[in-house]
């Protein structure tokens, strides 16, 4: 008898480490490189992976770096890590 397995993304956390765009081809390279298994492959071939454990993300960037399709996956930094420095003299904005 075949077993059915269900996976439910954790929606209780507001964090969403990455955003997949329409350019994603569902190759699952990002799923394979993630060291903490934030994603699982989508059951439908060609669709973007499912973010199953968003709160586990280390923001290491491996998934974004592994993707070969420009613009398919974008980092979504958590609010507390979006700070930046602004040079008063030059007005130049930078992250440190
Ligand atoms: S984001 Fe990139 S690496 Fe991940 S499934 Fe989509 S195309 Fe593949
Ligand atoms: S940033 Fe790192 S830990 Fe977070 S989902 Fe991507 S590979 Fe996984």
What would the pLDDT profile of 57-77 be if each residue is shown by its tens digit? 999 999 999 999 999 999 998
Q: Could you report the per-residue pLDDT of 1-46, keeping only the tens digit for each? A: 889 988 888 776 777 899 999 999 999 999 999 999 999 999 999 9
Tell me the pTM.
0.82
Find where tokens 């973010």 sit. 51
Which pair of structure tokens corresponds to residue 64?
């974004």
**Atom number, ligand 2, closest to the C-alpha of residue 61:** 1
Which pair of structure tokens corresponds to residue 40?
């699982």
Structural domains of the chain, count: 1
Q: Is residue 56 part of a domain?
A: yes
Q: Is residue 12 part of a domain?
A: no
Residue nearest to atom 8 of ligand 2 (CA): 34
Q: Is residue 52 part of a domain?
A: yes
Q: Which ligand is nearest to the CA of 74?
A: 1
d(CA 41, CA 49): 5
d(CA 96, CA 88): 15
Domain with 85 in it: what CATH number?
3.30.70.20
Which residues constitute the domain of residue 55? 18-94
Buried b (16+ CB within 10 A) or exposed e, 44-75: eeeebbbbebbebbeeeebbbeebeeeebbee
């Amino acid at each position: 008898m075949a077993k059915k397995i269900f996976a439910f993304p954790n929606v209780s956390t507001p964090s969403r480490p990455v955003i997949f765009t329409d350019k994603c081809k569902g190759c699952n390279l990002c799923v394979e490189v993630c060291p903490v298994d934030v994603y699982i492959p989508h059951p439908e071939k060609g669709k973007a992976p499912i973010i199953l454990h968003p709160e586990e993300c280390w923001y290491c960037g491996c998934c974004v770096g592994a993707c070969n399709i420009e613009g398919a996956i974008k980092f979504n930094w958590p609010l507390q890590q979006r700070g930046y420095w602004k040079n008063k003299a030059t007005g130049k904005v930078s992250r440190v």
